[in-house]
Structure 1
Amino acid sequence: MNSMKNKFSFDHVIIVVENLNTAIDDFTALGFGVVPGGVHIGNSTHNALIPFQDGTYIELLAPTSNSFRTMQPVKDGTPQMPYYLARMVGDGEGLAGFALWVYGIEQTVDDAAARGIAMSGPSEGGRQRHDGVDLLWKVAIPDAPGLPFFIEDMTNRALRVPAPAQHANGVTGMGGVTIATPDMRGRSALFHDLLGEEAITTYDSHISDQPFDLFGVRLGTIVIVPDAEVHGLRPSRLTLKARHMRGTRVLDESKSHGAKIVLIGE
Protein backbone atom coordinates (compact mmCIF):
# COMPACT_ATOMS: atom_id res chain seq x y z
CA MET A 1 0.00 0.00 0.00
CA ASN A 2 1.55 3.32 -1.02
CA SER A 3 1.76 6.46 1.10
CA MET A 4 -1.27 8.10 -0.51
CA LYS A 5 -3.51 5.14 0.23
CA ASN A 6 -2.43 5.32 3.87
CA LYS A 7 -3.29 9.01 4.05
CA PHE A 8 -6.60 9.30 2.18
CA SER A 9 -9.68 7.15 2.57
CA PHE A 10 -13.15 7.38 1.07
CA ASP A 11 -15.45 8.69 3.76
CA HIS A 12 -18.80 9.36 2.09
CA VAL A 13 -20.53 10.43 -1.10
CA ILE A 14 -23.21 13.12 -1.03
CA ILE A 15 -26.45 12.91 -2.98
CA VAL A 16 -28.51 16.08 -2.81
CA VAL A 17 -32.29 15.57 -2.65
CA GLU A 18 -35.19 17.99 -2.51
CA ASN A 19 -37.26 16.16 0.12
CA LEU A 20 -35.57 13.86 2.62
CA ASN A 21 -38.59 11.67 3.44
CA THR A 22 -39.32 11.08 -0.23
CA ALA A 23 -35.67 10.19 -0.85
CA ILE A 24 -35.64 7.75 2.07
CA ASP A 25 -38.65 5.96 0.57
CA ASP A 26 -37.09 5.91 -2.91
CA PHE A 27 -33.69 4.60 -1.81
CA THR A 28 -35.40 2.00 0.36
CA ALA A 29 -37.30 0.88 -2.75
CA LEU A 30 -33.93 0.55 -4.52
CA GLY A 31 -32.88 -1.98 -1.87
CA PHE A 32 -30.85 0.21 0.46
CA GLY A 33 -31.08 0.27 4.23
CA VAL A 34 -31.44 3.93 5.19
CA VAL A 35 -30.90 5.16 8.75
CA PRO A 36 -31.68 8.56 10.33
CA GLY A 37 -28.96 11.18 10.34
CA GLY A 38 -29.67 14.54 11.90
CA VAL A 39 -29.67 18.31 11.44
CA HIS A 40 -26.53 20.25 10.56
CA ILE A 41 -25.31 23.26 12.49
CA GLY A 42 -27.36 26.23 11.32
CA ASN A 43 -30.51 24.07 10.90
CA SER A 44 -30.65 24.67 7.15
CA THR A 45 -29.98 21.08 6.03
CA HIS A 46 -30.56 17.61 7.40
CA ASN A 47 -29.62 14.14 6.23
CA ALA A 48 -30.12 10.41 6.25
CA LEU A 49 -27.31 7.87 5.84
CA ILE A 50 -26.79 4.63 3.93
CA PRO A 51 -23.89 2.94 5.77
CA PHE A 52 -21.87 0.08 4.27
CA GLN A 53 -19.77 -2.78 5.63
CA ASP A 54 -16.50 -1.15 4.57
CA GLY A 55 -17.13 1.91 6.77
CA THR A 56 -18.14 4.27 3.95
CA TYR A 57 -21.62 5.64 3.42
CA ILE A 58 -23.92 7.64 1.18
CA GLU A 59 -25.33 10.85 2.63
CA LEU A 60 -28.77 11.95 1.46
CA LEU A 61 -28.68 15.71 1.99
CA ALA A 62 -31.81 17.88 1.92
CA PRO A 63 -33.02 21.30 3.06
CA THR A 64 -34.91 21.28 6.33
CA SER A 65 -37.72 23.52 5.11
CA ASN A 66 -37.33 25.65 1.98
CA SER A 67 -36.53 24.12 -1.38
CA PHE A 68 -33.09 24.57 -2.88
CA ARG A 69 -34.60 27.03 -5.34
CA THR A 70 -35.45 29.44 -2.53
CA MET A 71 -32.68 28.71 -0.01
CA GLN A 72 -30.32 31.57 0.76
CA PRO A 73 -26.82 30.35 1.73
CA VAL A 74 -26.12 33.90 2.96
CA LYS A 75 -28.87 36.17 4.30
CA ASP A 76 -28.22 39.76 5.38
CA GLY A 77 -24.50 38.98 5.42
CA THR A 78 -24.91 35.98 7.75
CA PRO A 79 -24.09 32.46 6.53
CA GLN A 80 -27.17 30.22 6.77
CA MET A 81 -25.23 27.00 6.19
CA PRO A 82 -21.59 25.85 6.02
CA TYR A 83 -19.86 26.98 2.82
CA TYR A 84 -19.20 23.48 1.54
CA LEU A 85 -22.87 22.53 1.91
CA ALA A 86 -24.00 25.72 0.17
CA ARG A 87 -21.75 24.96 -2.80
CA MET A 88 -23.06 21.41 -3.11
CA VAL A 89 -26.77 22.18 -2.99
CA GLY A 90 -26.51 24.96 -5.57
CA ASP A 91 -27.12 22.67 -8.57
CA GLY A 92 -30.08 20.79 -7.10
CA GLU A 93 -30.64 17.04 -6.93
CA GLY A 94 -28.06 14.40 -7.85
CA LEU A 95 -24.49 13.40 -7.06
CA ALA A 96 -23.00 16.50 -5.49
CA GLY A 97 -19.57 15.60 -4.16
CA PHE A 98 -17.58 13.34 -1.88
CA ALA A 99 -15.36 13.48 1.18
CA LEU A 100 -11.99 11.91 1.88
CA TRP A 101 -11.14 11.09 5.48
CA VAL A 102 -7.66 12.16 6.55
CA TYR A 103 -5.56 11.88 9.68
CA GLY A 104 -3.95 15.19 10.56
CA ILE A 105 -6.06 17.56 8.51
CA GLU A 106 -3.95 20.66 9.24
CA GLN A 107 -0.79 19.07 7.84
CA THR A 108 -2.76 17.65 4.90
CA VAL A 109 -3.98 21.15 4.03
CA ASP A 110 -0.45 22.52 4.31
CA ASP A 111 0.85 19.77 2.02
CA ALA A 112 -1.80 20.53 -0.58
CA ALA A 113 -1.07 24.24 -0.38
CA ALA A 114 2.62 23.54 -1.03
CA ARG A 115 1.53 21.83 -4.27
CA GLY A 116 -0.56 24.84 -5.27
CA ILE A 117 -4.03 23.83 -4.01
CA ALA A 118 -5.59 26.62 -1.96
CA MET A 119 -8.13 25.42 0.60
CA SER A 120 -10.61 27.00 2.99
CA GLY A 121 -10.20 25.67 6.52
CA PRO A 122 -9.83 23.51 8.39
CA SER A 123 -13.04 24.75 9.99
CA GLU A 124 -15.42 23.07 12.41
CA GLY A 125 -18.64 21.48 11.28
CA GLY A 126 -21.18 19.29 12.96
CA ARG A 127 -24.71 18.10 13.37
CA GLN A 128 -27.00 16.76 16.04
CA ARG A 129 -28.10 13.17 15.61
CA HIS A 130 -31.76 12.27 15.79
CA ASP A 131 -31.10 10.91 19.31
CA GLY A 132 -29.65 14.23 20.49
CA VAL A 133 -25.95 13.32 20.34
CA ASP A 134 -23.79 16.21 19.10
CA LEU A 135 -21.15 15.42 16.48
CA LEU A 136 -18.18 17.59 15.56
CA TRP A 137 -15.64 17.39 12.77
CA LYS A 138 -13.18 19.51 10.84
CA VAL A 139 -13.45 20.06 7.10
CA ALA A 140 -11.15 21.65 4.54
CA ILE A 141 -12.58 22.68 1.18
CA PRO A 142 -10.49 23.19 -1.99
CA ASP A 143 -11.11 26.62 -3.48
CA ALA A 144 -11.23 25.01 -6.94
CA PRO A 145 -14.71 23.51 -7.49
CA GLY A 146 -15.15 19.87 -8.43
CA LEU A 147 -12.63 18.46 -5.96
CA PRO A 148 -13.41 16.37 -2.86
CA PHE A 149 -13.21 17.93 0.57
CA PHE A 150 -11.24 16.58 3.53
CA ILE A 151 -12.84 15.58 6.81
CA GLU A 152 -11.43 14.56 10.19
CA ASP A 153 -13.57 13.76 13.21
CA MET A 154 -13.31 15.66 16.48
CA THR A 155 -15.81 13.36 18.16
CA ASN A 156 -15.54 9.60 17.68
CA ARG A 157 -16.12 8.67 14.03
CA ALA A 158 -18.20 5.70 15.18
CA LEU A 159 -20.76 8.20 16.51
CA ARG A 160 -21.02 9.89 13.10
CA VAL A 161 -21.03 6.75 10.96
CA PRO A 162 -23.71 4.21 11.93
CA ALA A 163 -23.19 0.47 12.00
CA PRO A 164 -23.65 -1.08 8.56
CA ALA A 165 -27.26 -1.43 7.49
CA GLN A 166 -28.68 -4.48 5.74
CA HIS A 167 -29.14 -3.81 2.03
CA ALA A 168 -31.57 -5.96 0.09
CA ASN A 169 -29.70 -5.11 -3.13
CA GLY A 170 -26.54 -6.75 -1.78
CA VAL A 171 -24.37 -3.62 -1.64
CA THR A 172 -21.38 -3.99 0.68
CA GLY A 173 -19.28 -0.91 0.04
CA MET A 174 -17.75 1.75 -2.12
CA GLY A 175 -16.34 1.08 -5.55
CA GLY A 176 -15.52 4.68 -6.41
CA VAL A 177 -16.61 7.80 -8.22
CA THR A 178 -16.26 8.72 -11.86
CA ILE A 179 -15.74 12.30 -12.95
CA ALA A 180 -16.42 13.07 -16.62
CA THR A 181 -14.76 16.17 -18.02
CA PRO A 182 -13.83 17.69 -21.38
CA ASP A 183 -10.36 18.40 -19.92
CA MET A 184 -9.15 15.12 -18.44
CA ARG A 185 -5.51 16.21 -18.19
CA GLY A 186 -6.38 19.49 -16.48
CA ARG A 187 -8.75 17.81 -14.03
CA SER A 188 -6.23 15.04 -13.29
CA ALA A 189 -3.55 17.65 -12.65
CA LEU A 190 -5.75 19.20 -9.95
CA PHE A 191 -6.26 15.80 -8.30
CA HIS A 192 -2.52 15.17 -8.51
CA ASP A 193 -1.82 18.42 -6.69
CA LEU A 194 -4.56 17.75 -4.12
CA LEU A 195 -3.45 14.20 -3.33
CA GLY A 196 0.25 14.34 -4.12
CA GLU A 197 0.15 11.28 -6.38
CA GLU A 198 0.40 10.58 -10.09
CA ALA A 199 -2.63 9.17 -11.90
CA ILE A 200 -2.52 5.78 -13.54
CA THR A 201 -3.67 6.02 -17.15
CA THR A 202 -5.53 2.86 -18.12
CA TYR A 203 -8.37 1.53 -20.26
CA ASP A 204 -11.54 -0.42 -19.52
CA SER A 205 -14.34 -0.55 -22.07
CA HIS A 206 -16.89 -0.94 -19.26
CA ILE A 207 -15.94 2.54 -18.01
CA SER A 208 -15.03 4.51 -21.13
CA ASP A 209 -14.29 3.97 -24.82
CA GLN A 210 -11.13 6.05 -24.34
CA PRO A 211 -8.14 5.79 -21.98
CA PHE A 212 -8.80 7.42 -18.61
CA ASP A 213 -6.92 8.44 -15.46
CA LEU A 214 -7.33 6.65 -12.15
CA PHE A 215 -6.36 7.61 -8.61
CA GLY A 216 -6.51 4.92 -5.94
CA VAL A 217 -7.34 5.79 -2.35
CA ARG A 218 -8.21 3.49 0.52
CA LEU A 219 -11.65 1.91 0.00
CA GLY A 220 -12.17 3.11 -3.55
CA THR A 221 -11.00 4.75 -6.74
CA ILE A 222 -11.38 8.15 -8.37
CA VAL A 223 -11.75 7.81 -12.15
CA ILE A 224 -11.35 10.79 -14.49
CA VAL A 225 -12.79 10.13 -17.95
CA PRO A 226 -12.76 12.36 -21.04
CA ASP A 227 -16.17 13.52 -22.22
CA ALA A 228 -16.52 16.56 -24.46
CA GLU A 229 -20.27 16.82 -23.77
CA VAL A 230 -19.96 17.35 -20.00
CA HIS A 231 -20.00 20.89 -18.67
CA GLY A 232 -20.55 20.48 -14.91
CA LEU A 233 -18.07 19.60 -12.19
CA ARG A 234 -20.09 17.12 -10.16
CA PRO A 235 -19.25 13.39 -10.12
CA SER A 236 -20.96 11.67 -13.05
CA ARG A 237 -21.26 8.17 -11.58
CA LEU A 238 -21.07 6.33 -8.28
CA THR A 239 -19.98 2.70 -8.32
CA LEU A 240 -20.88 0.39 -5.45
CA LYS A 241 -19.76 -3.18 -4.75
CA ALA A 242 -22.50 -5.78 -4.37
CA ARG A 243 -22.50 -9.45 -3.45
CA HIS A 244 -24.53 -12.25 -5.03
CA MET A 245 -24.55 -10.70 -8.48
CA ARG A 246 -22.58 -10.90 -11.70
CA GLY A 247 -21.74 -8.08 -14.05
CA THR A 248 -23.23 -4.65 -13.46
CA ARG A 249 -26.62 -3.14 -12.72
CA VAL A 250 -27.60 0.50 -13.20
CA LEU A 251 -30.17 1.76 -10.72
CA ASP A 252 -33.29 3.67 -11.74
CA GLU A 253 -32.31 7.36 -11.75
CA SER A 254 -35.89 8.43 -11.12
CA LYS A 255 -35.59 6.67 -7.74
CA SER A 256 -31.98 7.74 -7.10
CA HIS A 257 -32.89 11.42 -7.59
CA GLY A 258 -30.73 11.93 -10.64
CA ALA A 259 -27.67 10.15 -9.30
CA LYS A 260 -26.20 7.55 -11.66
CA ILE A 261 -25.42 4.56 -9.44
CA VAL A 262 -23.90 1.37 -10.83
CA LEU A 263 -23.67 -1.86 -8.83
CA ILE A 264 -20.78 -4.18 -9.67
CA GLY A 265 -20.57 -7.82 -8.55
CA GLU A 266 -17.78 -8.60 -6.11
Structure 2
Amino acid sequence: LADYQALGFAVYYGGKHTHKATHNGLISLADGSYLELLAPVDPDEIDGTIALLAAGEGFAGYALLSQDLAADGARLQAAGIPFVGPSDGHRDRYDGARVVWQAINLEGTRSPFLIADVTDHLLRVPADGDKINHANGAVGVSGVTVAVHDLAAAATRYTKILGVAPAQRSQSPEEESVTFTLDSQTITLAQPLVHGTALAAHLATFGEVPYLLQLQTDREDGMGMLDLKMAHGARLALMGSESHG
Protein backbone atom coordinates (compact mmCIF):
# COMPACT_ATOMS: atom_id res chain seq x y z
CA LEU A 1 0.00 0.00 0.00
CA ALA A 2 2.87 2.36 0.79
CA ASP A 3 4.17 2.25 -2.80
CA TYR A 4 0.80 3.29 -4.22
CA GLN A 5 0.56 6.06 -1.64
CA ALA A 6 3.96 7.24 -2.85
CA LEU A 7 2.52 7.30 -6.40
CA GLY A 8 -0.07 9.81 -5.21
CA PHE A 9 -3.06 7.59 -4.48
CA ALA A 10 -5.19 7.64 -1.34
CA VAL A 11 -5.09 3.94 -0.44
CA TYR A 12 -7.03 2.28 2.35
CA TYR A 13 -7.27 -1.25 3.70
CA GLY A 14 -10.35 -3.11 2.44
CA GLY A 15 -10.41 -6.31 4.48
CA LYS A 16 -10.21 -10.09 4.16
CA HIS A 17 -12.07 -12.13 1.55
CA THR A 18 -14.47 -15.00 2.20
CA HIS A 19 -11.85 -17.74 1.96
CA LYS A 20 -9.47 -15.77 4.23
CA ALA A 21 -6.50 -16.49 1.93
CA THR A 22 -6.36 -12.97 0.47
CA HIS A 23 -6.99 -9.45 1.63
CA ASN A 24 -7.04 -6.19 -0.27
CA GLY A 25 -6.29 -2.53 -0.36
CA LEU A 26 -8.55 -0.23 -2.35
CA ILE A 27 -8.20 2.95 -4.37
CA SER A 28 -11.62 4.57 -4.84
CA LEU A 29 -12.11 6.97 -7.73
CA ALA A 30 -14.65 9.76 -8.06
CA ASP A 31 -16.41 8.10 -11.02
CA GLY A 32 -17.37 5.11 -8.83
CA SER A 33 -14.67 2.78 -10.15
CA TYR A 34 -11.78 1.45 -8.10
CA LEU A 35 -8.44 -0.34 -8.16
CA GLU A 36 -8.05 -3.42 -5.99
CA LEU A 37 -4.63 -4.27 -4.60
CA LEU A 38 -4.73 -7.98 -3.80
CA ALA A 39 -2.24 -9.93 -1.69
CA PRO A 40 -2.09 -13.20 0.28
CA VAL A 41 -2.82 -12.88 3.99
CA ASP A 42 0.13 -15.19 4.65
CA PRO A 43 2.79 -14.96 1.90
CA ASP A 44 4.20 -18.31 3.04
CA GLU A 45 0.94 -20.11 2.34
CA ILE A 46 0.21 -19.30 -1.30
CA ASP A 47 -1.94 -22.08 -2.74
CA GLY A 48 -4.29 -22.69 -5.65
CA THR A 49 -6.79 -20.12 -4.42
CA ILE A 50 -4.41 -17.38 -5.50
CA ALA A 51 -2.59 -19.08 -8.37
CA LEU A 52 -2.96 -15.80 -10.26
CA LEU A 53 0.22 -14.68 -8.48
CA ALA A 54 2.24 -17.45 -10.12
CA ALA A 55 3.35 -15.30 -13.07
CA GLY A 56 4.38 -12.43 -10.81
CA GLU A 57 2.89 -9.11 -9.81
CA GLY A 58 0.71 -7.17 -12.23
CA PHE A 59 -2.87 -7.07 -13.44
CA ALA A 60 -4.92 -10.20 -12.74
CA GLY A 61 -8.11 -9.11 -14.49
CA TYR A 62 -10.82 -6.48 -14.35
CA ALA A 63 -14.49 -6.22 -13.48
CA LEU A 64 -17.52 -4.80 -15.24
CA LEU A 65 -20.26 -3.52 -12.94
CA SER A 66 -23.63 -5.12 -13.65
CA GLN A 67 -26.94 -3.49 -12.78
CA ASP A 68 -28.84 -6.74 -13.43
CA LEU A 69 -26.70 -9.86 -13.13
CA ALA A 70 -29.56 -12.23 -13.99
CA ALA A 71 -30.29 -10.37 -17.23
CA ASP A 72 -26.61 -10.21 -18.12
CA GLY A 73 -26.26 -13.93 -17.44
CA ALA A 74 -29.22 -14.68 -19.71
CA ARG A 75 -27.71 -12.50 -22.44
CA LEU A 76 -24.33 -14.25 -22.17
CA GLN A 77 -26.01 -17.65 -22.29
CA ALA A 78 -27.98 -16.67 -25.39
CA ALA A 79 -24.75 -15.47 -27.01
CA GLY A 80 -23.03 -18.78 -26.30
CA ILE A 81 -20.51 -17.38 -23.80
CA PRO A 82 -19.79 -20.02 -21.12
CA PHE A 83 -19.64 -18.76 -17.55
CA VAL A 84 -19.88 -19.77 -13.92
CA GLY A 85 -22.30 -18.11 -11.53
CA PRO A 86 -23.79 -15.98 -10.25
CA SER A 87 -21.71 -16.84 -7.20
CA ASP A 88 -21.79 -15.15 -3.81
CA GLY A 89 -18.83 -13.32 -2.35
CA HIS A 90 -18.12 -11.18 0.67
CA ARG A 91 -15.37 -9.60 2.68
CA ASP A 92 -15.26 -8.11 6.14
CA ARG A 93 -14.18 -4.48 6.12
CA TYR A 94 -11.61 -2.98 8.44
CA ASP A 95 -14.50 -1.50 10.48
CA GLY A 96 -16.29 -4.85 10.82
CA ALA A 97 -18.98 -4.18 8.20
CA ARG A 98 -19.66 -7.04 5.81
CA VAL A 99 -19.60 -6.26 2.08
CA VAL A 100 -21.62 -8.67 -0.07
CA TRP A 101 -21.72 -9.06 -3.85
CA GLN A 102 -22.46 -11.55 -6.60
CA ALA A 103 -20.24 -12.28 -9.58
CA ILE A 104 -20.28 -14.03 -12.93
CA ASN A 105 -16.93 -15.42 -14.02
CA LEU A 106 -16.41 -16.10 -17.70
CA GLU A 107 -14.98 -19.55 -18.26
CA GLY A 108 -11.19 -19.60 -18.27
CA THR A 109 -10.56 -15.90 -17.68
CA ARG A 110 -10.79 -13.01 -15.23
CA SER A 111 -10.81 -10.48 -18.07
CA PRO A 112 -13.49 -9.46 -17.60
CA PHE A 113 -15.78 -10.75 -14.86
CA LEU A 114 -19.14 -9.22 -13.95
CA ILE A 115 -19.94 -8.03 -10.45
CA ALA A 116 -23.15 -6.75 -8.86
CA ASP A 117 -23.57 -5.28 -5.40
CA VAL A 118 -25.87 -6.93 -2.87
CA THR A 119 -25.03 -4.46 -0.14
CA ASP A 120 -24.79 -0.78 -1.05
CA HIS A 121 -22.13 0.04 -3.65
CA LEU A 122 -20.75 2.77 -1.39
CA LEU A 123 -20.11 0.17 1.29
CA ARG A 124 -17.84 -1.70 -1.13
CA VAL A 125 -16.40 1.38 -2.87
CA PRO A 126 -16.58 4.34 -0.46
CA ALA A 127 -16.74 7.84 -1.90
CA ASP A 128 -15.67 9.77 1.20
CA GLY A 129 -13.55 12.79 0.39
CA ASP A 130 -10.44 11.40 2.05
CA LYS A 131 -10.71 8.27 -0.10
CA ILE A 132 -11.37 9.80 -3.55
CA ASN A 133 -9.10 12.84 -3.35
CA HIS A 134 -5.76 11.73 -4.77
CA ALA A 135 -2.58 13.78 -4.72
CA ASN A 136 -1.89 12.76 -8.33
CA GLY A 137 -5.29 14.08 -9.48
CA ALA A 138 -6.82 10.73 -10.51
CA VAL A 139 -10.62 10.93 -10.79
CA GLY A 140 -11.66 7.89 -12.83
CA VAL A 141 -10.93 5.18 -15.36
CA SER A 142 -10.51 6.38 -18.93
CA GLY A 143 -9.71 3.07 -20.60
CA VAL A 144 -8.16 -0.36 -20.32
CA THR A 145 -6.03 -2.17 -22.91
CA VAL A 146 -6.15 -5.98 -22.85
CA ALA A 147 -3.48 -8.10 -24.55
CA VAL A 148 -4.89 -10.87 -26.78
CA HIS A 149 -3.47 -13.69 -28.90
CA ASP A 150 -6.07 -13.59 -31.70
CA LEU A 151 -7.61 -10.18 -32.29
CA ALA A 152 -10.39 -11.33 -34.61
CA ALA A 153 -11.56 -14.04 -32.22
CA ALA A 154 -11.27 -11.75 -29.19
CA ALA A 155 -13.20 -8.95 -30.94
CA THR A 156 -16.02 -11.35 -31.79
CA ARG A 157 -16.14 -12.63 -28.22
CA TYR A 158 -16.11 -9.14 -26.69
CA THR A 159 -18.86 -8.00 -29.04
CA LYS A 160 -21.03 -10.75 -27.55
CA ILE A 161 -19.97 -9.96 -23.98
CA LEU A 162 -20.48 -6.20 -24.23
CA GLY A 163 -23.39 -6.15 -26.65
CA VAL A 164 -21.70 -3.52 -28.85
CA ALA A 165 -19.35 -3.64 -31.83
CA PRO A 166 -15.88 -2.07 -31.87
CA ALA A 167 -15.95 1.67 -32.53
CA GLN A 168 -12.38 1.92 -33.80
CA ARG A 169 -9.68 -0.22 -35.41
CA SER A 170 -6.01 0.61 -35.75
CA GLN A 171 -2.77 -1.04 -36.80
CA SER A 172 0.95 -0.32 -36.57
CA PRO A 173 3.98 -2.40 -37.54
CA GLU A 174 4.10 -3.74 -33.97
CA GLU A 175 0.45 -4.34 -33.08
CA GLU A 176 -3.16 -4.15 -34.18
CA SER A 177 -6.12 -3.29 -32.02
CA VAL A 178 -9.84 -2.65 -31.78
CA THR A 179 -11.53 -0.34 -29.29
CA PHE A 180 -14.98 -0.61 -27.74
CA THR A 181 -16.62 2.50 -26.28
CA LEU A 182 -18.77 2.18 -23.16
CA ASP A 183 -20.15 5.56 -22.13
CA SER A 184 -17.02 7.60 -21.29
CA GLN A 185 -14.69 4.61 -21.01
CA THR A 186 -12.98 2.39 -23.56
CA ILE A 187 -11.83 -1.22 -23.76
CA THR A 188 -9.04 -1.83 -26.27
CA LEU A 189 -7.96 -5.29 -27.39
CA ALA A 190 -4.38 -5.35 -28.67
CA GLN A 191 -2.54 -8.16 -30.45
CA PRO A 192 1.25 -7.97 -30.88
CA LEU A 193 2.44 -8.54 -34.45
CA VAL A 194 6.14 -8.95 -33.66
CA HIS A 195 8.22 -10.48 -30.90
CA GLY A 196 10.33 -8.44 -28.53
CA THR A 197 7.83 -5.71 -27.68
CA ALA A 198 6.55 -4.97 -24.19
CA LEU A 199 3.05 -6.03 -25.28
CA ALA A 200 4.33 -9.37 -26.62
CA ALA A 201 6.33 -10.03 -23.46
CA HIS A 202 3.33 -9.19 -21.29
CA LEU A 203 1.09 -11.55 -23.25
CA ALA A 204 3.64 -14.38 -23.07
CA THR A 205 4.05 -13.96 -19.31
CA PHE A 206 0.55 -13.18 -18.07
CA GLY A 207 -1.81 -14.22 -20.86
CA GLU A 208 -4.90 -12.29 -21.90
CA VAL A 209 -5.15 -9.84 -19.01
CA PRO A 210 -5.00 -6.03 -18.90
CA TYR A 211 -1.78 -4.57 -20.27
CA LEU A 212 -2.45 -0.89 -19.57
CA LEU A 213 -4.92 1.08 -17.46
CA GLN A 214 -5.47 4.75 -18.29
CA LEU A 215 -6.72 6.93 -15.46
CA GLN A 216 -8.30 10.32 -16.02
CA THR A 217 -7.05 13.20 -13.89
CA ASP A 218 -8.46 16.62 -13.07
CA ARG A 219 -5.34 18.29 -14.42
CA GLU A 220 -4.72 19.68 -17.90
CA ASP A 221 -1.44 17.82 -18.13
CA GLY A 222 -1.31 14.26 -16.88
CA MET A 223 1.69 12.59 -15.31
CA GLY A 224 2.02 9.99 -18.06
CA MET A 225 3.24 6.50 -17.20
CA LEU A 226 3.78 5.75 -13.53
CA ASP A 227 6.84 3.86 -12.33
CA LEU A 228 6.29 0.20 -13.17
CA LYS A 229 8.26 -1.11 -10.20
CA MET A 230 6.46 1.14 -7.73
CA ALA A 231 3.15 0.01 -9.25
CA HIS A 232 4.17 -3.65 -8.76
CA GLY A 233 4.01 -4.56 -12.44
CA ALA A 234 0.79 -2.70 -13.28
CA ARG A 235 1.12 -0.29 -16.23
CA LEU A 236 -0.77 2.83 -15.19
CA ALA A 237 -0.99 6.06 -17.17
CA LEU A 238 -2.39 9.30 -15.74
CA MET A 239 -4.07 11.24 -18.54
CA GLY A 240 -4.54 15.00 -18.53
CA SER A 241 -8.02 16.49 -18.88
CA GLU A 242 -7.12 17.84 -22.34
CA SER A 243 -6.67 14.25 -23.59
CA HIS A 244 -10.09 13.09 -22.38
CA GLY A 245 -12.31 11.88 -25.21
- Relative to structure 1, the CA distance from residue 113 to residue 168 in structure 2 (aligned partners, 3 Å threshold; closer, same or farther) is same
Cα RMSD (Å): 2.0
1:53-68 alignment, distance < 5 Å: 53-67=30-44
Partners of 2:176 and 2:209 lie apart in 1 by: 20
CA offset digits 1:45-100 (Å, max 9, x no partner)? 00011111111111101110135xx5223xxxxxxx5xxxx464443310111111
Against the structure 1 CA distance between its residues 100 and 219, is the aligned structure 2 distance closer, same or farther, given a 3 Å change threshold?
Answer: farther
For residue 248 of structure 1, report the CA deviation from its aligned partner: 5.6
List alignment gaps of at least 5 residues for structure 1. 1-23, 74-80
Q: Shift of residue 167 of structure 1?
A: 0.9
Deviates more, 1:225-234 or 1:104-113: 225-234
Report the equivalent of 1:165.
132
Q: Secondary structure at the match of 1:55?
A: coil
Is 1:251 aligned with 2:226?
yes
1:35 to 3, 6, 12: 12
Q: Does 1:121 align with 2:85?
A: yes
Distance of aligned partners of 1:195 and 1:88 in 2 relative to their CA distance in 1, 3 Å threshold: farther
> TM-score, with normalisation over the residues of structure 2?
0.86
Match of 1:220 in 2: 185
Distance 1:71 1:219, change over 3 A: farther
Kindly tell me the number of residue pairs found equivalent between the two proteins: 228
- Matching residue's letter, 1:212: S
Structure in which a larger fraction of residues adopt helix: 2
Name the counterpart of 1:107: 71
Please give the alpha-carbon distance, in whole angstroms, between the structure 1 residues aligned to 2:80 and 2:32: 31
Percentage identity across paired residues of the two chains: 35
Q: 1:104 and 1:233, CA in 2 relative to 1: closer, same or farther beyond 3 A?
A: same
Contact 2:132–2:139 (CA<8 Å) still a contact in 1?
Answer: no
Q: Which of structures 1 and 2 has the larger relative contact order (alpha carbons within 8 angstroms, sep 6+)?
A: 1
Residue 77 of structure 2 aligns to a residue whose secondary structure is: helix
Contact 1:201 1:211 in 2 (8 A): no
